[in-house]
C-alpha cells in the first residue's frame, strides 16, 4: 500500500514538472516571437514588404531604383511563394551574406549590407515572428531590370567591390547586460534601422559612399537629409529630446516628417520603446559635423524679390512671414536643416506635390500641405525655393528653373506608373 502511494506521488510530481516545463517552453516561445515582432518593427520590414492595398508582409511592393523596379519578397510562411520552407539558417544567411535559400544572390535593395551585422539571436527572433503570420500565397511580379542586370550572378562582382560581411560587436546585442546607450544606438541606426540606406549618398553602381555616411542621400526623388552634427544642414541644433520627439511623433519644433520618413515614423520608430529612442538620439548626437555648412551662395536679387512675393501670397498664411511656422503643425522654414540642405529636391517636391505629415498614436492628426504644381510655373517654384533657402538667416544654393522642370517630369512619371 505504501509503495503504491509512493509510486502515485512520484508519477504526479513528474506530471506536474512536465506541465511546468511545457508552460515554460510556451512562455519562452511567446517571448521570442514578441521580441522578433519588435525587432521587425525596428527594421521597418512591413514598409517594403507590403504592396499598396496588399496583405502585410506578403511582398510585391515595387521599389523604384536607378536601375529598374524590383518587387519585394513575400515574408509570410507560405510554402510556395514565401518563407515556409526556410530554416533559421537560411534566413540568417540572407541577412548576413545576401544569399537566398537556393544560393542565388539578393539585390542590395534588400539592405543586407546593413543587416549583415544582425546577431544570430535577433535573426532567429525575427524569423520566429514571421513564422506566426498567416501564410499568404502571393506570386510577385518579375523584376523590371534591363539586360544584363537581371542576371543575379553579377552581384558576385558587386559584393567583391562594395560588401563586407559584418562582425557584430557583442555588447550591442539585445541580450547584453553591459551594453551602453551608444552601442545600442549604433546597432539600431547602423544595422536594424539601416538609416544609411536612405541617408547616405550612393555611387553610380548604387553602393554607399561610406566616406560620407549619413550625410544625406537622394532616393526615389526625395532627399533624406544630413543627420550628422552640422549646424545648418544637420542635427547640430537639435537636442536629444528633439530627436526622440521626432522619431516618436514625426514632428518637433524644427519640422515635420513627410514623404518616406513619415512612413518610417508611422511603421517603425513611433513604436519603439523610450530606451531605444534615447539610444538612437544619443548615437546621432555623438556624430561629428561633416562640414557641409561651409558653402558659398549668391542668389539673384530678382529671384529673391519674386520668391518673397510668392511666399507672402501662397505660403505665409501657414508658415508666417517670419518663416517660423507653427510648432508641430506647420513646419518652421527658418533654420530648417532640410531647407538648407545642399540638395533641394525635397523642398521642391513638397511645393509641387504637397505633403502629408505622419500620423502616430502620440500625434494622430496628419497635417497636410496642398500642392502648388497646378498654380506655380517652374520659374516661380524655383524663385520661391531660392527665397526660402536664403531668407531669415538661411543659407543654401539657389534653385534653377531646370531643376524644377526635371523633378516635375519625374513626379509625373511616378504618377503614371502608379495608375492602374
Q: What does the mean pLDDT of the chain come to? A: 88
Determine the pLDDT at residue 65.
Answer: 87
* Grid cell at residue 114: 546593413
Looking at the chain, the whole-number percentage of residues with pLDDT higher than 90 is 69
For 169, residues 6+ apart whose C-beta sits below 8 A from its C-beta are 183, 186, 187
Q: Is the pLDDT of residue 398 over 90?
A: yes
Query: Shortest CA distance to 75 belongs to which of 104, 108, 47, 42?
Result: 47
Q: Is the pLDDT of residue 302 over 70?
A: yes
Query: Shortest CA distance to 256 belongs to which of 336, 197, 193?
Result: 336
CA separation for the pair 341, 347 (Å, rounded): 9
Determine the pLDDT at residue 369.
Answer: 87
CB-facing half-sphere around the CA of 313: CA atoms within 13 A:
12
Mean pLDDT of 390-418: 90
Instruction: Give 253: exposed, middle or buried? Use CB within 10 Å, 0-12, 13-18, 19+.
Output: middle
Query: What's the whole-model pTM score?
Result: 0.87
Q: With cut-offs at 50, 70 and 90, classify the pLDDT of residue 420.
A: low
Strands 62-65, 68-71: pairing kind: antiparallel
Q: With cut-offs at 50, 70 and 90, classify the pLDDT of residue 405.
A: very high
Please, what's the largest Cα pairwise distance for the chain? 108
Determine the pLDDT at residue 176.
Answer: 37
pLDDT tens for 209-261 read 999 999 999 988 999 999 999 999 999 999 999 999 999 999 898 988 999 99
CA separation for the pair 412, 230 (Å, rounded): 34
Determine the pLDDT at residue 175.
Answer: 38
Sign of CA dihedral 175, 176, 177, 183: negative
pLDDT tens for 124-171 read 999 999 999 999 999 988 988 888 888 888 899 999 999 999 865 544
pLDDT tens for 267-280 read 999 999 999 999 99
User: Would residue 107 be called left, alpha or beta, if left means φ above 0 and alpha means ψ between -120 and 50 degrees?
Assistant: beta
Strands 68-71, 217-219: pairing kind: unpaired
Q: Is the pLDDT of residue 174 over 60?
A: no
CA separation for the pair 358, 249 (Å, rounded): 8
Query: Which carries the bigger pLDDT value, residue 11 or residue 41?
Result: 41
Mean pLDDT of 165-179: 50
Question: How far is the first Cα of the chain from the last one, in angstroms, to the nearest whole number?
Answer: 81
pLDDT tens for 24-72 read 555 667 889 999 999 999 999 999 999 999 999 999 999 988 888 999 9
Mean pLDDT of 173-190: 67
Domains and CATH numbers, the chain: 27-170 (no CATH), 301-418 (1.10.760.10)
Amino acid at each position: 500500500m505504501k509503495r503504491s502511494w509512493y509510486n502515485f506521488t512520484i508519477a504526479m510530481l513528474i506530471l506536474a514538472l512536465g506541465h511546468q516545463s511545457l508552460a515554460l517552453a510556451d512562455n519562452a516561445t511567446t517571448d521570442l516571437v514578441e521580441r522578433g515582432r519588435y525587432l521587425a518593427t525596428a527594421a521597418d520590414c512591413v514598409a517594403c514588404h507590403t504592396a499598396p492595398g496588399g496583405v502585410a508582409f506578403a511582398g510585391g511592393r515595387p521599389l523604384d531604383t536607378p536601375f529598374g523596379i524590383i518587387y519585394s519578397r513575400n515574408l509570410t510562411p507560405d510554402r510556395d511563394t514565401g518563407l515556409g520552407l526556410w530554416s533559421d539558417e537560411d534566413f540568417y544567411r540572407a541577412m548576413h551574406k545576401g544569399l537566398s535559400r537556393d544560393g542565388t544572390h539578393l539585390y542590395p535593395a534588400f539592405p543586407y549590407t546593413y543587416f549583415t551585422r544582425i546577431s544570430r539571436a535577433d535573426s532567429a527572433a525575427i524569423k520566429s515572428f514571421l513564422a506566426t503570420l498567416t501564410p499568404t500565397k502571393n506570386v510577385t511580379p518579375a523584376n523590371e531590370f534591363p539586360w544584363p542586370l537581371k542576371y543575379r550572378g553579377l552581384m558576385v562582382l558587386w559584393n567583391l567591390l562594395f560588401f563586407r560581411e559584418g562582425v557584430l560587436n557583442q555588447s550591442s546585442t539585445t541580450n547584453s547586460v553591459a551594453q551602453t546607450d551608444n552601442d545600442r544606438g549604433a546597432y539600431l541606426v547602423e544595422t536594424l534601422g539601416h538609416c544609411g540606406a536612405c541617408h547616405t549618398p550612393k555611387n553610380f553602381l548604387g553602393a554607399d559612399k561610406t566616406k560620407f555616411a549619413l550625410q544625406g542621400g537622394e532616393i526615389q526623388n526625395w532627399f533624406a537629409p544630413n543627420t550628422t552634427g552640422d549646424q545648418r544642414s544637420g542635427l547640430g541644433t537639435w537636442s536629444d529630446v528633439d530627436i526622440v520627439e521626432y522619431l516618436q511623433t514625426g514632428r518637433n519644433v524644427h519640422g515635420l516628417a513627410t514623404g518616406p520618413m513619415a512612413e518610417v515614423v508611422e511603421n517603425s520608430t513611433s513604436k519603439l520603446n523610450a530606451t531605444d529612442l534615447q539610444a538612437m538620439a544619443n548615437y546621432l548626437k555623438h556624430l561629428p559635423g561633416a562640414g557641409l555648412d561651409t558653402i558659398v551662395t549668391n542668389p539673384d536679387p530678382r529671384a529673391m524679390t519674386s520668391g518673397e512675393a510668392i511666399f507672402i501670397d501662397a505660403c505665409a498664411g501657414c508658415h508666417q512671414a517670419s518663416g517660423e511656422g507653427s510648432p508641430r503643425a506647420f513646419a518652421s522654414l527658418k533654420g530648417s536643416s532640410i531647407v538648407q540642405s545642399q540638395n533641394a529636391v525635397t523642398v521642391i517636391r513638397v511645393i509641387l506635390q504637397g505633403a502629408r505629415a505622419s500620423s502616430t498614436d502620440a500625434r494622430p492628426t496628419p497635417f497636410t500641405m496642398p500642392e502648388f504644381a497646378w498654380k506655380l510655373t517652374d520659374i516661380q517654384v524655383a524663385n520661391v525655393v531660392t527665397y526660402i533657402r536664403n531668407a531669415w538667416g538661411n543659407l543654401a544654393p539657389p534653385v534653377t528653373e531646370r531643376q524644377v522642370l526635371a523633378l516635375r517630369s519625374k513626379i509625373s512619371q511616378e504618377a503614371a506608373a502608379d495608375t492602374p
